């Protein structure tokens, strides 16, 4: 199978590159938020198991539960902040680029017709 590539590939402007960076940061933050919440949930589930009398409860150490809880909270908060900040910057930059494109269309009505 051949992959068709656009031979007249347009170079990205610095603003478009920055937009891609914000998009990647937004997705990374969302993934970190999910991972942190999963770690936090796992520590809480381990705490419930520890309260019960089972053979698995003997293997769970309280120190491990505390580490999972703290790391889950830290990762979740950090991921949420990264996602929120980059989402705001992404939206602002995208709106700015959209306004610039609309202004260019209004300045050059001949190009917009083609």
Q: How many CB atoms lie within 10 A of CB 40?
A: 19
- Residue 41 to residue 35: CA distance in whole angstroms: 10
| pLDDT, tens digit, 9 for 90 and up, residues 37-94 | 999 999 988 888 877 767 777 888 889 889 999 999 999 999 999 999 999 999 999 9
Element (H, E) at 34: helix 14-51
Q: Is the pLDDT of residue 108 over 70?
A: yes
Take residue 81 and report the two structure tokens written for it.
Answer: 């902040």
pLDDT at 98: 92
Phi, psi of 18 (to 5 degrees): -65, -35
pTM, to two decimals: 0.74
User: SS3 of 51, please?
Assistant: helix
Q: How many CB atoms lie within 10 A of CB 63?
A: 8
Token pair, residue 44, equals: 């809480």
Query: What contacts 19, CB < 8 A, 6 or more positions away?
Result: 90, 93, 94, 97
For the record, the structure tokens of 47 come out as 């705490």
Cβ neighbours of 67 (radius 10 Å)? 13
The pLDDT assigned to 31 comes to 96
């Amino acid at each position: 199978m051949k992959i068709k590539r656009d031979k007249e590939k347009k170079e990205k402007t610095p603003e478009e590159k920055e937009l891609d960076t914000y998009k990647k940061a937004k997705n990374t933050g969302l993934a970190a938020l999910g991972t942190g919440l999963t770690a936090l949930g796992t520590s809480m589930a381990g705490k419930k198991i520890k309260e019960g009398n089972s053979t698995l409860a003997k293997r769970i150490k309280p120190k491990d539960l505390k580490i999972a809880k703290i790391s889950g909270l830290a990762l979740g908060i950090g991921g949420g902040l990264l996602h929120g900040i980059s989402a705001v910057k992404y939206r602002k930059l995208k709106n700015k680029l959209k306004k610039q494109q609309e202004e260019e269309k209004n300045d050059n009505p001949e190009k917009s017709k083609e």
